[in-house]
């Protein structure tokens, strides 16, 4: 049990526990906190996979900005406890069974996929971390157009949020 | 090749995605449903990063970057819509706001 | 002993962590003493002078008070989040200090550099990641207290923190452009030389002095750490106490320590990015300045000896005798060549950080508080455009030769 395996299993366990708490929590604020836990453990997994810049971006943007927005909205709207649905109970149990079946099917296909086996046979990969310099070279040369397009997208999102949140005079 | 086999990361990604779908279908609070969407996006990001390491290419990481950016703008606009819905219907339970009127 | 030589990374890391935690907790306590003394002297009064000589045992007395106070929990508070919030705030505030280099990486023990706990190639981004998570401590504290004033104070405080984070990050990107790296040790190495090579003045050919960047960074940092003049959400006369109203005893002490730890982090970052980190401001050829650290410690010991003999009585005298002997011993130990080489980097680093902390406390004592809407409009309408302009000008100055050649 070398250190990478231990770190992987601890983070995977934390991520799955966080996702389960998201489903099972009664208060929305507890769901938000468990989602933050999932994101942080995923950031550690990205570090294990050698993507350190993406790990930092995940914490800064996802866990440090998007989830703050969620927590703000939950606090402002004072979202109450989760209520029970008044629709059919049969649909609930059948749905749960089907959902779990979907989860297990996806996991099985991912574990035994053809790509997975090719990779397991060691089709070309090195163990070095990706440097920020290489990533930014790709981002500003090959993917320049999507980069500029997403900046316009962010501008439109800011305008949209401003217009929606403004009170009608 | 990372020491932990890539298929482990893919299985974790599948489990998180499945849990996200279950949360999306079963929860009744709009904000919690939104968080289930973010969970699904995160699961997909993990799969992208795992494949980027497996094929030793950077394109997967660039994709993750764009997914994070798009999720941010989507969360901003979506939560603004949620606030507007709350101001009009005074509830966050989707069972009570599934009719266009009332 | 075999264990030590077979696992150098583990042993050295543990030793560094333990040493850093010990030094950090002491520094946090004595930072409160420093602040009270400086504010008092600016306001023409003495500050703590009763508890121990020069009030030096005041932090100890405060610690005892915090430990023995009654620990109340509001009955309708969300218990899990209520206990989690100060723990989160303090943990995140202390974690950033693991990435700060206190000295050159050449100081090594068992083959590992000893003056930085985690030498990451994207250290700067991790520092920003951890400080951006610090918003949760404040927001969750305000929410979980289940009471009006903390909720309002928490929301205002966290909104202020996320607003000023943007201009904080942009003010620093100019420095990153000049350095071409996110690693702290390399950034400092590129500023090597006497003080006119520092990033704030002129960091080599084709670079724009980062004075505007430093000023934007400092103002954003003061707002980010919720310090005066930006401390409306937690001022006592405004919102009773803001997000930490309902916290008592040790949990309040944790918020208190978290605020000081954030101050230290931000000052350390400013030193590394703008003032050359652990580099000496004088040219390397002036080798007699290598004896400055032990010389200053011996001068301090002489002053304390004067105080012991002439001025103090009773417990204060005993305490001063202890401190004088301590200063004397450390000063004499530093005269040894090995210790002299080790202490050069941290001495200059701590001196610069101390100067920036003095500015922090000076601003607190001097300037009045900003109202919340003034604060937010200052952040979004002034600091953000100025930081962006600084970034654009720095980038233009850097690529100007390329533009001119191909134009």
Q: What is the pLDDT of residues C252-283, one digit of tens each?
A: 889 889 999 999 999 999 999 998 888 888 88
Number of separate domains in chain C = 1
| For range C146-175, the mean pLDDT | 88
Question: Could you tell me if A1 lies within 8 Å of chain B, comparing CB atoms?
Answer: no
- Residue B79 to residue A111, Cβ atoms within 8 A: no
CB contact under 8 A, A65 and C132: yes
Nearest to B15 among A76, A77, A107 (CB): A107
Confidence of residue C163 (pLDDT cuts 50, 70, 90): very high
Mean pLDDT of C225-252: 74
Intervals of chain B under pLDDT 50:
1
Residue with more model confidence, C332 or A8: A8
Domain contains C309: no
Any idea which fold A1-81 has? 1.20.120
Per-residue pLDDT tens for C347-394? 899 999 999 999 999 999 999 888 888 999 999 999 999 999 999 999
Distances C252 to C21, C95, C162 between C-alpha atoms, Å = 20, 19, 22
ipTM tops 0.90: yes
Nearest to A68 among C122, C130, C135 (CB): C135
Residue with tokens 């201009």: C167
Instruction: Please give, rounded to a whole number of angstroms, the shortest distance from the CA of B29 to a CA of chain A.
Output: 7
Range with the poorest average pLDDT among B40-44, C75-79, C313-317, C333-337: C313-317
The full set of domains in chain B, from first to last, is 6-89 (1.10.287.3510)
Q: Note whether residue C300 is domain-resident.
A: no
Residue C52 domain flag: no
pLDDT attached to residue C1: 67
CA distance C190 to C204: 8
Query: Splitting chain A (169 residues) into consecutive groups of 10 residues, what average pLDDT does each group show?
Result: 85 96 91 95 93 93 94 84 70 85 88 66 59 88 93 94 79
Residue of C77, C125, C148, C176 best to disrupt the A interface, most CBs of A under 10 A:
C125
Whether the CB-CB separation of C105 and C118 falls below 8 Å is answered with no
- The whole-angstrom distance between C92's CA and the closest CA on chain A is 12
Answer yes or no: pTM beyond 0.80: yes
d(CA C213, CA C195): 17
Mean pLDDT of C142-169: 87
**What chains are in contact with C, requiring at least 3 Cβ pairs below 8 Å?**
A
- What is the span of the domain harbouring residue C178? 63-279+336-406
Q: Which of B34, B49, B72 sits opposite A51 (nearest CB)?
A: B49
A60: nearest CB among C132, C139, C182 = C132
Bridge partners, residue C109, by sequence:
C112
A33 close contact with C: CB closer than 8 A? yes
Cβ B101 vs Cβ B89: under 8 Å: no
Task: Please choose, from the candidates C338, C342, C345, C333, the residue with its C-alpha nearest in 3D space to the C-alpha of residue C297.
Answer: C333
For the cut 90, the answer to whether the pLDDT of residue C343 exceeds it is: no
Domain ranges of chain A: 1-81, 91-122, 131-169
pLDDT of residue C239: 56
Q: How many CB pairs under 8 A join A and C?
A: 62
């Amino acid at each position: 049990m070398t250190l990478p395996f231990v770190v992987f299993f601890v983070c995977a366990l934390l991520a799955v526990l966080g996702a389960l708490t998201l489903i099972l929590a009664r208060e929305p604020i507890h769901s938000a906190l468990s989602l933050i836990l999932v994101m942080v453990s995923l950031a550690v997994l990205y570090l294990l996979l050698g993507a350190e810049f993406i790990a930092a971006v995940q914490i800064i943007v996802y866990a440090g900005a998007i989830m703050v927005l969620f927590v703000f909205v939950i606090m402002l709207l004072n979202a109450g406890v989760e209520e029970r649905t008044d629709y059919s109970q049969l649909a609930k149990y059948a749905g749960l069974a089907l959902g779990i079946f979907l989860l297990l099917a996806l996991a099985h296909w991912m574990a035994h996929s053809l790509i997975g086996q090719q990779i397991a046979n060691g089709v070309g990969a090195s163990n070095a971390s990706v440097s920020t310099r290489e990533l930014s070279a790709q981002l500003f040369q090959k993917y320049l157009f999507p980069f500029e397009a997403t900046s316009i997208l962010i501008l439109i999102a800011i305008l949209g949020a401003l217009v929606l949140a403004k009170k009608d005079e | 090749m990372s020491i932990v086999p890539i298929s482990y990361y893919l299985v974790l990604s599948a489990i998180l995605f499945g849990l996200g779908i279950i949360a999306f279908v079963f929860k009744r609070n709009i904000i919690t449903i939104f968080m289930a969407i973010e969970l699904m996006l995160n699961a997909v990001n993990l799969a992208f990063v795992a494949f980027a390491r497996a094929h030793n290419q950077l394109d997967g990481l660039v994709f993750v970057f764009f997914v994070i950016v798009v999720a941010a703008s989507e969360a901003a606009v979506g939560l603004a819509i949620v606030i507007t819905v709350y101001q009009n219907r005074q509830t966050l339970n989707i069972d009570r706001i599934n009719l266009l009127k009332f | 002993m075999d264990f030590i030589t077979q696992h150098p990374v583990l042993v050295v890391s543990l030793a560094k962590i333990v040493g850093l935690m010990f030094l950090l907790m002491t520094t946090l306590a004595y930072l409160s003493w420093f602040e009270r003394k400086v504010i008092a002297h600016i306001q023409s009064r003495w500050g703590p002078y009763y508890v121990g000589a020069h009030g030096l045992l005041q932090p100890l007395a405060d610690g005892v008070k915090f430990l023995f106070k009654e620990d109340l929990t509001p009955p309708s508070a969300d218990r899990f989040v209520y206990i989690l919030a100060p723990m989160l705030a303090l943990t995140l505030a202390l974690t950033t200090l693991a990435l700060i280099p206190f000295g050159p990486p050449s100081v090594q023990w068992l083959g590992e550099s000893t003056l930085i706990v985690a030498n990451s190639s994207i250290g700067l981004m991790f520092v920003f990641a951890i400080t951006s998570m610090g918003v949760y401590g404040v927001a969750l504290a305000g929410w979980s207290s289940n009471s009006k004033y903390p909720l309002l104070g928490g929301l205002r405080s966290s909104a202020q923190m996320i607003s000023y984070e943007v201009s904080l990050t942009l003010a620093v990107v100019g420095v990153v452009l000049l350095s071409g790296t996110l690693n702290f040790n390399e950034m400092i190495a590129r500023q090597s030389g006497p003080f006119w090579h520092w990033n704030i003045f002129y960091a080599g050919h084709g670079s724009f002095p980062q004075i505007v960047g430093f000023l934007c960074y400092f103002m954003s940092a003061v707002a980010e750490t919720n310090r005066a003049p930006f401390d409306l959400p937690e001022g006592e006369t405004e919102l009773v106490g803001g997000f930490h109203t309902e916290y008592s005893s040790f949990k309040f002490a944790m918020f208190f320590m978290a605020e000081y730890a954030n101050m230290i982090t931000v000052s350390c970052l400013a030193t590394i990015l703008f003032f050359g980190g652990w580099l000496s401001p004088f040219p390397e050829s002036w080798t007699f300045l290598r004896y400055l650290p032990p010389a200053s410690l011996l001068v301090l010991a002489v002053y304390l000896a004067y105080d012991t003999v002439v001025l103090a009585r009773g417990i204060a005298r005993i305490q001063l005798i202890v401190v004088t002997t301590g200063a004397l011993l450390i000063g004499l130990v530093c005269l040894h060549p090995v210790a002299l080489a080790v202490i050069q980097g941290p001495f200059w680093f701590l001196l610069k950080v101390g100067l920036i902390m003095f500015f922090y406390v000076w601003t607190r004592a001097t300037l009045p508080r900003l109202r919340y809407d003034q604060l937010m409009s200052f952040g979004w309408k002034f600091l953000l455009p100025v930081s962006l302009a600084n970034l654009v000008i720095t980038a233009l100055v850097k690529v100007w030769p390329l533009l001119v050649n191909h134009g």
